[in-house]
Amino acid sequence: MNWRARLLIFVPYAWLLVFFLVPFGIVLKISLSDIALAIPPYVPTMKDGFWTMITGLDLENYAFIGAGAVFATFALIVLAVGMFQILYPRVRRALIPDARYGIFDSAAVALTALAVAVVNIAVLVAVLSFLFPILSDFVNIPDFLYFAAYLSSLKIALISTFLTLLIGYPIAYGMARSAEHWRPTLLMLVILPFWTSFLIRVYAWMGILSTEGYLNQLLLNIGIISDPLVILNTNVAVYIGIVYTYLPFMVLPIYAALDKMDDSLVEAAEDLGCTTLSAFWLVTAPLSKPGVIAGCFLVFIPTLGEFVIPSLLGGSNTLMIGKVLWEEFFNNRDWPVASAVAVILLLILIIPIVLFQRNQQGDES
Amino acid sequence: MRKFSWFNATSLTFGFAFLYLPMLILIIYSFNESRLVTVWAGFSTKWYGELFQNEAFLDAAWVTIKVAFWSSTLATILGTMAAYIMVRTGQFRGRGLFSGMIYAPLVMPEVITGLSLLLFFIAIGLDRGVITIVLAHTTFAMCYVSVVVTSRLVSFDQSLEEAALDLGCTPFDAFRSVTLPIIMPAVISGWLLAFTLSLDDLVIASFTSGPSSTTLPIKIFSAVRLGVTPEINALSTIMIGLVTIGVISASLVSRSMSIKARADERRAEQG
Amino acid sequence: MAQPKPDTIFAPWDDPTAKPLIQFKNVTKRFGDFTAIDNLTLDIYAQEFFALLGPSGCGKTTLMRMLGGFETPTEGHIFLDGVDIGPVPPNERPVNMMFQSYALFPHLTVWDNIAFGLKRSDMPKDEIGDRVEKMLKLTQLGKFAKRKPHQISGGQRQRVALARSLAKAPKLLLLDEPLGALDKKLRHETQFELMDIQETTGTTFVIVTHDQEEAMTVASRVAVMVDGTLSQVATPDQIYEAPNSTYVADFIGDVNLIEGVIEVPEKGAAKDAVSIRWSSTETPINATSDLGLAAAATVHFAIRPEKVSISTEKPEADNVMSGKILDIAYLGNISTYHVEVAPGLIIKAQATNVRRMSRRNLTWEDHVYLSWTDTAGVVLTS
């Protein structure tokens, strides 16, 4: 490798090291420091000498925000999913021996999956309640705010991902089925909001959802309701905001998967005796799965750390970790705790990110 | 032939209505006479006038454009270099770390990126201002640019570069006179993406800006926290309008170019 | 079968004093565990039209890319005019390449594509224009100089690629499947154009192809490659008439292969005469071979279908077999008959259709005689 190639690699490499990796190292260090009335507002710093600084670091902030509980919860979730993945195929094979694939068989399969999941969770809960006295020290939580915020972020991200899929799939399907000369225009219409300011798109809903907003006016005028609905500053508004802003991320990968699909496959299925509905369920749906998975991750991952939507559309009881971090930093000026919150959030995110990358690579090969 | 059912038509109608109605309402009410934003009181453009009188907004807009221009330009240079390294350079020490650092900012929550950069700037004693926002935006936008350029480079016929080398180019010369002109559309869309991301960014800018360098999103955010205002409606309308014109003209240009290319090819085959 | 050739015929490979332009000396190329080129030694002479022929994956493209400088040998050396070109980067080699995809620069006009290499040489500006015009004339592209690559047809693109790689007057031109993207008719025309251009410019051409007909048509010598080694390097007629292995015989054209053992020669037989027993009941095949084969050696007898005559009455010949017609393939100018001469042994015989509707008398299930002379086929040991 000659010096030119080395230089070419060096410049962006050094940039990312300095402006990405080093800052993250600093976050890690500060998360281990203590809050202080000083500038910067934490101790120890390099001014105290390198050794004093190293020995002054501790895990106090992590204990404070209940990192143990957060990890225990996530470990449980991973465990439950893992158990489900191992148990479910066996149970299914035992219950439904021959592979028939009608709509009713699919329903039976879905019910089996549900039953396995319920049994799974019940077993985990039973085991845990037995073990809890041992674990209680480990998951001792001084301040429930953070733990609740992590869980509530997870819940909001999961539900809104599901809602986005529910709304996004029919749109992508309609686009893929529309006439060829319409598709570029429809595609552009889906991409256009992506280029428009995120902040403005969230802001647009404030006027619609508020108590005197356009939606309430409309409903009052029609006479469906007699008292205005309270939507803004609740979790419902947060869901609407997330679905609205992240919809293009769901539609695009699903559309890409459906557009790639060979039309004659559905025709072949119908030729072989499928109804339109069962042809969709047995051919189109499985083939669009990579797009669905990619879309879900693209919505889920950024939603988990979302700040703008909960702070504009959510209320005081909307707990999301991005908002908590922001308030910890700007309002409470507790930098060490904010850093610890950030580190834990990143560690949680690693699981879906790794899964997403594996899905993408599997899709390519 | 694909069948287009009533179900498809309904889902498309409702889907696009959901996507566009909120923005449409925003645009319509920006022309409302009344300060009470939800009550229609006749057509007026007075909020646009007030917007252009508001020095604070104009200053913020100017800062935002400056930041977006410099950060997207830097990000395009660095991102193109990174993409070229990822696609063309073989194994080198630390390649795994490099590709990790290229992709991580794409999925990193903005609050974490913003927080870490702020703490970094404080640690090295750099005063917060336009420069720190430019550095921060360059860092995350270069990753988006590199993704866009990578996807173009992957589909790029490598024998074109080999042909240039074969005809006497040095590797750098081959990049400048063959590779760069051909991947130029991807580089330009990378720049546009970086520019838009920088224009839109609230979270990272809030962390890395100083008191003298408020950007437009920060200004809008602090204004709308308290509720809907007609000035912001007017500002939003202008921004939506600019983006719409930009995206539509870009897609028209690319479509007419591809139509022309197809016509040329047909004519060429006919002799 | 090397025959003495008159001096006027171009055959530097038979001249021990001729100096090769290119020498591969024990070249090996490995990609990880895969050996693409295995200890290969080869000489190519100036002004040759040299074809590398083989199935995909045989290493022919790797061999060419090593000449172009896009791959470096793992072991061994490559010499150009006696100079080891291993360390020379592609942009400093007096070698140009015509790429399989043509690799025309889509953002430049035909004129600029051809001038691309010249602009990067030390040629003065005013001479570049003359040189490009000359190339355009050579390839009959004058009308299209201002067009971009996507505005011309496939055949024209092929000629632009050729003009561009010839513009710098390289010592050696490499052509990677140059006609692969053209349809069959255009390919035939272009083969002759290529030969004309090679003759006019006097450049040494090395062409990579998997199309044996193309190699036979254009090349002065053909190298048949398999699994990274050279099976045979010879002129097209030698490759066809005197293949050195069953692989080469089978790869080039159509052939009947019959396995058998050498009989003990009769007393008074000619020195090069051999007879091959291929069945315990049938008469042995009479053939000639200068390989000095010992009795009881296992050999293959290879004979081309067009060398086998077919008739309804028993002819007088060195070899006669009788059999039954299983299949007839009518190809217009010729017909191929598949004749079963013994259980499991089918011999193909070709006959030219000289008169309209002639040989209609031969049909399926007919009993026929096949015959050939003792020099019509070759005896192969590997």
CB–CB of B168 and C168 under 8 A?
A: yes
Q: What is the pLDDT of residue C356?
A: 65
| Contact residues, chain C, for B262 at CB < 8 Å | none
Q: What is the rounded average pLDDT of the residues B103-118?
A: 90
Q: Is the pLDDT of residue C161 over 90?
A: yes
Read off the pLDDT of residues B20-33 as tens digits, 9 standing for 90 and up: 999 999 999 889 88
The answer, for A188 touching chain B at a CB cutoff of 8 Å, is yes
All structural domains of chain C: 12-94+170-250 (3.40.50.300), 254-380 (2.40.50.100)
Helix (H) or strand (E) holding A295: helix A289-304
Helix, strand or coil, per DSSP, at residue A270: helix
Q: What is the pLDDT of residue A226?
A: 85
Separation of alpha carbons C125 and B32, rounded Å? 66
Q: Is the pLDDT of residue C87 over 80?
A: yes
Query: Greater confidence, A128 or C64?
Result: C64
Q: Residues of A numbered 126-185 whose beta carbons fall under 8 angstroms of chain B's beta carbons: which are they?
A: 167, 170-171, 173-179, 184
Q: Is the pLDDT of residue A138 over 60?
A: no
Question: Contact at 8 Å (CB) between B194 and B76?
Answer: yes
Q: Is the pLDDT of residue A97 over 60?
A: no
Question: Contact at 8 Å (CB) between B25 and A207?
Answer: yes
Separation of alpha carbons C337 and C254, rounded Å? 13
Q: Can you give the length of chain A in residues?
A: 365
Q: What is the rounded average pLDDT of the residues C350-364?
A: 73
Separation of alpha carbons B38 and A208, rounded Å? 9
Q: What is the pLDDT of residue B131?
A: 94
Neighbours of C120 (CB within 10 A): 18
Q: What is the pLDDT of residue A57?
A: 78
Written as six digits, the tokens of A217 are 């006016």
Q: What is the rounded average pLDDT of the residues B109-127?
A: 91
Q: Superfamily assignment of B57-231 in CATH? A: MetI-like (1.10.3720.10)
Nearest-Cα distance to chain B for A55, in Å, is 19
Residue environment code for B192-215, b if the CB has 16+ CB neighbours within 10 A, otherwise e = bbbbbbbbbbbbbbbbbbeeebbb
Read off the pLDDT of residues A140-170 as tens digits, 9 standing for 90 and up: 666 778 888 888 999 999 999 999 999 999 9
Number of CB pairs, chain B paired with chain C, less than 8 A apart: 76
Q: Is the pLDDT of residue A99 over 60?
A: no
Question: Contact at 8 Å (CB) between A149 and A141?
Answer: no
Q: At what angle do helices A144-177 and A67-95 cross, to 10 degrees?
A: 40
Longest dimension (CA), chain C: 80
Q: Answer whether A touches C (≥3 Cβ pairs < 8 Å).
A: no
Minimum-distance CB partner of A193 among B19, B92, B246: B19
Query: Of A111-115, C312-316, C337-341, which gets the smallest average pLDDT?
Result: A111-115
Q: What is the pLDDT of residue B106?
A: 85
Query: Greater confidence, C71 or A132?
Result: C71
| Contact residues, chain A, for B224 at CB < 8 Å | 199, 203, 206, 312
Q: What is the rounded average pLDDT of the residues B196-203?
A: 93
**Proportion of chain A above pLDDT 90, given as a percent:** 31
For residue A208, CA distances in Å to A212, A236, B108, B228 come to 8, 13, 31, 10
Q: Is the pLDDT of residue C2 over 50?
A: no
Q: What is the pLDDT of residue A94?
A: 74
**Proportion of chain B above pLDDT 90, given as a percent:** 52
Question: Contact at 8 Å (CB) between C68 and B166?
Answer: yes
For the domain spanning A144-364, the CATH number is 1.10.3720.10
Residue by residue, DSSP assigns A31-85 as HTSEE-SSSSSEE--GGG-HHHHHHT--SHHHHHTTHHHHHHHHHHHHHHHHHHH
Query: Greater confidence, A229 or A38?
Result: A229
Question: Contact at 8 Å (CB) between A307 and B204?
Answer: no
Written as six digits, the tokens of A130 are 């037995």
The ipTM estimated for the assembled molecules is 0.89
Chain B residue at shortest CA distance from C170: B167
What's the pLDDT band for C225 if we cut at 50, 70, 90?
Answer: very high
Read off the pLDDT of residues A228-238 as tens digits, 9 standing for 90 and up: 888 889 999 99
DSSP C171: S
Minimum-distance CB partner of C120 among B168, B264, B265: B168
Q: What is the pLDDT of residue C172?
A: 92
Read off the pLDDT of residues C227-255 as tens digits, 9 standing for 90 and up: 999 999 999 999 999 999 999 998 888 89
**Highest-confidence segment of A122-131, C103-112, C293-302:** C103-112
Separation of alpha carbons A259 and A288, rounded Å? 9
Q: What is the rounded average pLDDT of the residues A289-311?
A: 92
Helix, strand or coil, per DSSP, at residue B269: helix
Q: What is the pLDDT of residue A92?
A: 74
**Proportion of chain A above pLDDT 70, given as a percent:** 92
What's the pLDDT band for B184 if we cut at 50, 70, 90?
Answer: very high
Q: What is the rounded average pLDDT of the residues A314-338?
A: 88
Residue by residue, DSSP assigns B194-252 as HHHHHHH--HHHHHH--TT---HHHHHHHHHTT---HHHHHHHHHHHHHHHHHHHHHHH
| Contact residues, chain A, for B250 at CB < 8 Å | none
Query: Greater confidence, C56 or A129?
Result: C56
Separation of alpha carbons C184 and C357, rounded Å? 28
Q: Is the pLDDT of residue C1 over 70?
A: no
What's the pLDDT band for C7 if we cut at 50, 70, 90?
Answer: low
Q: What is the pLDDT of residue B92?
A: 82
What phi, psi does B32 have (nearest 5°)? -80, 140
Number of CB pairs, chain A paired with chain B, less than 8 A apart: 230
Q: What is the pLDDT of residue C281?
A: 81
Query: Of A91-105, A119-133, B49-63, C362-376, which gets the smallest average pLDDT?
Result: A91-105
Q: What is the pLDDT of residue C16?
A: 85
Query: Of A5-14, A276-285, B110-119, which gets the smallest average pLDDT?
Result: A276-285
**Torsion, CA B189, CA B192, CA B193, CA B194, rounded to 10:** 120
Q: Is the pLDDT of residue C359 over 70?
A: no
Q: Is the pLDDT of residue C78 over 70?
A: yes
Nearest-Cα distance to chain B for C234, in Å, is 29
Q: Is the pLDDT of residue B133 over 80?
A: yes
Structural domain boundaries in chain B: 57-231
Separation of alpha carbons C338 and C361, rounded Å? 16
Residue environment code for C61-72, b if the CB has 16+ CB neighbours within 10 A, otherwise e = bbbbbbbbbbbe
Written as six digits, the tokens of A125 are 């809960």
| Contact residues, chain B, for C144 at CB < 8 Å | none
Written as six digits, the tokens of B19 are 């996507």
Q: What is the rounded average pLDDT of the residues A340-354?
A: 87
Longest dimension (CA), chain B: 72
Q: Is the pLDDT of residue A73 over 60?
A: yes
Q: What is the pLDDT of residue B141?
A: 95
Q: What is the pLDDT of residue A70?
A: 78
For residue C82, CA distances in Å to C21, C23, C50 come to 7, 8, 19
**Residue in C139, B43, B18, C237 with CA at minimum distance from that of residue A193:** B18
Query: Greater confidence, B7 or C7?
Result: B7
Query: Of A85-99, A320-334, B153-167, C59-73, which gets the smallest average pLDDT?
Result: A85-99
What's the pLDDT band for C206 if we cut at 50, 70, 90?
Answer: very high
What phi, psi does C258 have (nearest 5°)? -125, 125
Read off the pLDDT of residues C254-305 as tens digits, 9 standing for 90 and up: 899 999 998 887 777 777 888 888 888 888 888 888 887 778 889 999 999 9
Q: Is the pLDDT of residue C374 over 90?
A: no
Q: Is the pLDDT of residue A246 over 90?
A: yes
What's the pLDDT band for A134 if we cut at 50, 70, 90?
Answer: low
Q: Answer whether B touches C (≥3 Cβ pairs < 8 Å).
A: yes
Q: Is the pLDDT of residue C72 over 70?
A: yes
Q: What is the pLDDT of residue C288?
A: 87
What's the pLDDT band for A88 if we cut at 50, 70, 90?
Answer: confident
Q: List chains adjacent to chain B, taking adjacency as at least 3 C-beta pairs closer than 8 Å.
A: A, C
Question: Contact at 8 Å (CB) between C51 and C207?
Answer: yes
Compute the mean pLDDT over every residue in chain C, rounded to the nearest whole number. Answer: 88
DSSP C163: H
Q: Is the pLDDT of residue C308 over 60?
A: yes
Q: What is the pLDDT of residue B1?
A: 46
Query: Of B210-214, C112-116, C264-268, which gets the smallest average pLDDT?
Result: C264-268
Structural domain boundaries in chain A: 70-140, 144-364
CB–CB of B25 and A191 under 8 A?
A: no
CB–CB of A199 and B142 under 8 A?
A: no
